[in-house]
A and B are shown apart, each in its own frame.
Chain A
Amino acid sequence: MTDPHPHPHPRTRLDDHFASPIRFSLLASLGDGIELDFPTLREILQCGDSPLSKAISHLEAAGYVIARKERFGSRQRTWVRSTRAGLDAFAGHLQALREIVSLSGTQEL
């Protein structure tokens, strides 16, 4: 039996967890082995505390990031890093986006 979709459309590899711009940017900022704290993420993503907290919680529930709290002096800091699953999913999502872009270029020709 032959595969009915030998070359599936790149959209099939898109991951809706990254459909939100903040969740997308969050994973984009967390490279392999990089752990960022909450204020740094807020600065990089240029967003408020609440949307960032929601994005972290969402991606944590999906198993794409790990958030841990650490006491530093008298304050508590939240550190966030990506999981292997998160990195792989994001790499697949980026690849799908690249293919969508290149596919449109081919179709325009």
Chain B
Amino acid sequence: MEQNPVPGHEALVPPDADIARRYLDEAQAVTERRDRAVDRRALAWLQIANAVVIAVYLGAFAWVLRNAAPLVPQVILFTFLMWSQLATGIAQRNGMQMRMSRARWPIVVAGAAVIIVALVLFGFAVWDDRLPQIVMAIPSGLVLVALGGYGVAQLIRAAGDPPPRPPVQAPLSRPTRWGTALVGVAIGVLVLLGGAPEGVVTSILMLLVVLLLLAWILAARTELGLPAIGAVWRWPHVLAFAVAAAVLLTFIGIRAGGVGADLPVTALAGAGVVALLVAVSFVRGRDPRD
């Protein structure tokens, strides 16, 4: 009886104890090299950041839907999709991704159950006016605990990893710089329209959302695509995007609350968002991997 040979080949001579020991040492060394090569902590932090983003957007969605602000949910969805594309690039630049496997199905089932409960509560919170406003926060809280908790678990698992190498910095390439500026233009225009009259907002927002989404879908396979942009962004770029999204959400919240900002104010804020992203496009990013 021999070992499992490669089909069509004779069974190889089995290793002696010394060779076997060297193979076992190599398996350990490979694992250590992998943990040095990929930054599992960064992936865990990204998971936590995604949980926070989803929780915030779910809360904002509930708020604007309950206050029946026309088309504003699409603006929120557009910004959220933009982030999810950027986050895809940020996740992939480490050279490692976590995939669902059979061993992880209990986590998947538990996570899916929490998300379903959160969505049901989201529906009640949005369409049942008798429920207090605080109910709108429950779906966000559940998502934050479920997805953020998974991120924290990943962070704990990576606690023993060696410190990651600092990323090699490089100026953003021309397409990526243009892409970063375009992100600013997209959010800036949406901020600007937050102060426009209702009828104009309705038609222009719809047109812009569709056109911008279409443009980015077409550009997804180029250096102008959002995943490629996210892959080279460092923290200053991500921070600038977060500030821009926060400005947009603030004006959306104000509008949904029935107050409404004046057009000059939103125009100024929109211009500020564009200027911020254009400025940050000149900040050095990560050197793209080969």
Contact A73 B99 (CB under 8 A): no
Annotate B219-242 by CB proximity to A: 1 below 8 A, 0 otherwise: 001110101100100000000000
Contact B15 A97 (CB under 8 A): yes
Q: Is A25 an interface residue when CB atoms closer than 8 A count as contact?
A: yes
Total count of chain B residues near the partner, CB < 8 A = 48
Given A24-B26, A72-B92, A94-B24, check contact A35 B97 (CB 8 Å).
yes
Measured CB to CB, the closest approach of chain B to A41, in angstroms, equals 8
Measured CB to CB, the closest approach of chain B to A18, in angstroms, equals 8
- A77 to B34: give the CA distance in the assembly, Å: 18
Contact B225 A73 (CB under 8 A): yes
Closest to B219 in A: A73
Segment of B3-11, B130-138, B191-199, B277-285 in the binding face:
B3-11
Contact B3 A40 (CB under 8 A): no
B-side contacts of A71, CB under 8 Å: 221
Interface set of B (CB-CB < 8 Å, partner A):
1-6, 9, 11-12, 14-17, 20-21, 23-24, 26-27, 30-31, 33-34, 37-38, 89, 92, 94-104, 221-223, 225, 227-228, 231, 288-290
Extra contacts besides A19-B12, A33-B98, A43-B95 (9): CB < 8 Å: A24-B26, A28-B26, A33-B104, A36-B34, A40-B37, A45-B30, A46-B33, A73-B221, A100-B16
Interface set of A (CB-CB < 8 Å, partner B):
5, 8-9, 11-17, 19, 21, 24-25, 28-29, 31-37, 39-40, 43-46, 62, 71-74, 77, 79, 81, 84, 89, 94, 96-98, 100-101, 103-105
